[in-house]
Amino acid sequence: MNQKQAASLYEVISPWAEADPVPPRGLTAERPAGLDGKNIGILHNWKRASKPILEVLERELKKRFPDARLSWYAESYRNTPEIESENIKKYEAWLKGLDTVLFAYGD
C-alpha cells in the first residue's frame, strides 16, 4: 500500500457502542378474533401525539364496535414503564379485565 492509499483509510466507529445481541422477534401475543363485545384497554404513554391519536382511535372503535367496552389507563410518569413504577399493582389490576390493549407511540 502506498502513502496515498494509507491516507485514505479510516475506521468507522458506531456512536451506539455495542449492538444488542438479542435478535428481534415478532409479537407473540395472540390477537383477538374480533373486537365487538371485548374489553379493550387504551394505554396512554405520555408521548406528545399519543393522546390525540388514541382519542381518534377511541371514536372509531365506538363507531365500529358499539358493544366493546373501552378503558383508559395513563402511565404514571413520562419515560418510565408502568411496571417499573410504584403503581404496578394498579396497572396489573387494570390489565386483568382486558381482552386486548391498544396504544400509540406518538413522537
Q: Quick one: average pLDDT of 71-84?
A: 89
In the block, residue with C-alpha cell 399493582: 89
Q: Quick one: average pLDDT of 7-28?
A: 73
pLDDT at site 6 = 61
Alpha carbon distance 61, 40 (integer Å): 9
Res 96 pLDDT > 80: yes
- Answer with the residue of higher pLDDT: 18 or 66: 66
**Contact by Cβ (8 Å): 41, 58:** no
Q: Quick one: average pLDDT of 80-106?
A: 91
Res 26 pLDDT > 90: no
Query: Domain coordinates of the chain in residue numbers?
Result: 37-107
Q: Quick one: average pLDDT of 35-47?
A: 93
Write down the mean pLDDT value for the chain: 86
With bands split at pLDDT 50, 70 and 90, how would you rate the model's confidence at 53? very high
pLDDT at site 3 = 64
With bands split at pLDDT 50, 70 and 90, how would you rate the model's confidence at 5? low
How many CB atoms within 10 Å of residue 45? Answer: 19
